[in-house]
Each structure stands twice: as C-alpha cells, then as structure tokens.
C-alpha cells in the first residue's frame, strides 16, 4: 500500500454510533483482532485481551448496567445540590455513553498485567518505579492495539466507536457479568458493525498547534 492509500484510511475513519442489522462474522472479528495484535507494546509485553460480545441480550444488559449506574450518579449529584449537572449527565452524557446499544458486536478491550524479562530481572529488583506505573504501561499498549483494531475495521468496510462511559460508570458490574479477572484492567469498549450513517469529518487542531520541533 502506498502512503496516500494509508492516509485515506486514517482520514476516512469515523466514530459511528448507528449500525444496520447486518451481522458481523466471526471471521471478520478474528481478522481485525489479528491486526490489533501486531500493534507495538512495551518490551513486546502484548498487554491486551479482547472480549467480543455478540450476544445481543448481553449488549443490552451492559447498556442497562451503564444507565443504572448513571442514574445513581445523577441522584447522588442532585442530592448534593447539583441538579443542573445531574440533568446534563442523564440527558447529554447518557446517550453518548451508551451509543453501542444497537451494535451487533461490542468489543471489551482489556489491559493485562505488564510482564517482561526486564521487569523480572531488572525493574522490580531495583524498584525502578511504583507498581501503578506498570498498570499504566499495560493501558498504553492496549490503546495502541485498539487503534489498529479500529483502522482495520474501517479498511474492511466496518465501523467502530471507542467509548469509555461504561468503564467509568459500570466497570464493576461489567467485570462481574463477564467474569473478567481482577488483575485485568477494562480499558474501553468499542462498538463494531456495518454503518448506517456517515458522520462528517470533525475539525482538528492545526499541525503547528500540536507539533514542536526542537
């Protein structure tokens, strides 16, 4: 592939929140995960794992769990005198956080514990960093894999939308529902399906705003 073709894939990818009823095949899921697993990771630790939820009842259950926790947070905020913020949380953030509800597939992106020969032989013995830093390393590598996943899906004519709302609101409930081990971090959820909309390209900051050459 030449650079122009690759850049077109990057520029045309969208975060899509509405999908057709057309199913996504297991073969398609396996293919995009194959691309995800070739992302770079710290010392090739490959700190990622994916759960592809294709059961529509389970996807609806995750949506319901998210709304349940969202309403609980809104009630707490209202009780603290933040009625306006509580209303905005439900009416504005709620639909945004649960836009995966009609997707045929919901991919739960996990970050697994960071393990490497460097950590075992060098980093831990000398107490290089605090333990929470290794959790951050796992998330960083998992995010790289998620981007590969989304670009691969777009190249196959599928659409995705990365969301952290369910993780922020109902992480404990999702963990219990899907029996996710405690040592795994839930990074984000990514809806996957055939798009029924094509959102326009959103404005981006100019290169000179985000690039400094020294």
Within 13 A of 188's CA, how many CA atoms are on the CB side?
22
Q: What is the mean pLDDT of residues 72-78?
A: 96
- Give the CATH superfamily of 15-199: NADH Oxidase (3.40.109.10)
pLDDT of 108: 98
Q: What is the mean pLDDT of residues 204-208?
A: 96
The b-or-e profile of 123-137 (16+ CB within 10 A means b, else e) is beeeeeeeeeebbeb
Rounded Cα distance between 23 and 177, Å, is 23
Indicate the average pLDDT of the chain. 95
Tell me if 73 sits within 8 A of 92, measured CB to CB: no
Name the one residue in this structure whose structure tokens are 């980093």.
Answer: 123
Sequence spans of domains, the chain: 15-199
In this model, does residue 82 exceed pLDDT 90?
Answer: yes
pLDDT of 87: 95
User: What's the helix, strand, coil split of the chain in %, to 5?
Assistant: 55, 15, 35
pLDDT of 72: 96
Give the model confidence (pLDDT) of 89-128 as tens digits.
999 999 999 999 999 999 999 999 988 888 889 999 999 9
Tell me if 93 sits within 8 A of 168, measured CB to CB: no
Band of the pLDDT at 60, cuts 50, 70, 90?
A: very high
What are the C-alpha distances in Å from 77 to residues 70, 80, 82?
11, 5, 5
pLDDT of 117: 87
């Amino acid at each position: 592939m030449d650079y122009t073709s690759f850049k077109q894939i990057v520029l045309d990818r969208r975060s899509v929140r509405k999908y057709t009823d057309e199913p996504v095949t297991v073969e398609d899921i396996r293919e995009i995960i194959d691309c995800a697993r070739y992302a770079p990771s710290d010392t090739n630790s490959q700190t990622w794992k994916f759960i592809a939820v294709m059961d529509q009842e389970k996807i609806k259950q995750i949506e319901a769990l998210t709304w349940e926790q969202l309403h609980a947070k809104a009630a707490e905020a209202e009780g603290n005198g933040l009625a306006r913020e509580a209303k905005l949380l439900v009416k504005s953030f709620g639909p945004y956080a649960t836009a995966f509800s009609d997707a045929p597939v919901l991919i739960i992106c996990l970050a697994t514990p960071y393990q490497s020969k460097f950590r075992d032989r060098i980093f831990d013995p000398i107490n290089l960093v605090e333990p929470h830093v290794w959790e951050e390393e796992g998330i960083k590598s998992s995010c790289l894999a998620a981007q590969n996943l989304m670009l691969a899906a777009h190249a196959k004519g599928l659409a995705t939308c990365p969301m952290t709302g369910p993780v922020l609101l109902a992480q404990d409930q999702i963990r219990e529902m899907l029996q996710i081990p405690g040592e795994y971090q839930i990074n984000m959820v990514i809806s996957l399906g055939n798009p029924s909309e094509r959102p326009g390209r959103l404005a981006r900051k100019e290169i000179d705003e985000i690039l400094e050459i020294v």
